[in-house]
Amino acid sequence: MKELIIYLVIFLLTYGFYFIFVLCRKNVLKKVPDGMYARYLKIKYGVNINDKNLKSIANQIFLGNSFILATTVYVVCLFDNLILEILVGLVTLVCLILLVYHIIGILNRRKQGGK
């Protein structure tokens, strides 16, 4: 139960931070297409990021990042050995990044009418 509360707190704090400091500020939101994750979606999946869907894609990226961070912390909290925590955390982080951004890319490509 303690880990679930930690998971929810980390998820909500991370997403809240993104929401307040990026999604609510138009000058910062315009920098999202130049970010690493948006460029990855453009190159790998051909996702077109324009002014119409910028807020939607930014929201998906921020939800994905919050999920990745909270899940990685949750998995790391399950172990007591520091070396094991680092190794499992690194593997979990890389796997979740690849999985979450694959899902985001596929969904946006389908929504935009690509294969």
- Average pLDDT across the chain, whole number: 89
SS3 string, the chain, reads CHHHHHHHHHHHHHHHHHHHHHHCCHHHHCCHHHCHHHHHHHHHHCCCCCCCCHHHHHHHHHHHHHHHHHHHHHHHHCCCCHHHHHHHHHHHHHHHHHHHHHHHHHHHHHHCCCC
pTM: 0.87
| pLDDT tens digits, 25-66 | 888 888 888 888 889 988 998 888 886 788 888 899 999 999
Instruction: Quickly state the pLDDT bin for 71 (edges 50, 70, 90).
Output: very high
Domain ranges of the chain: 2-111
pLDDT of residue 114: 60
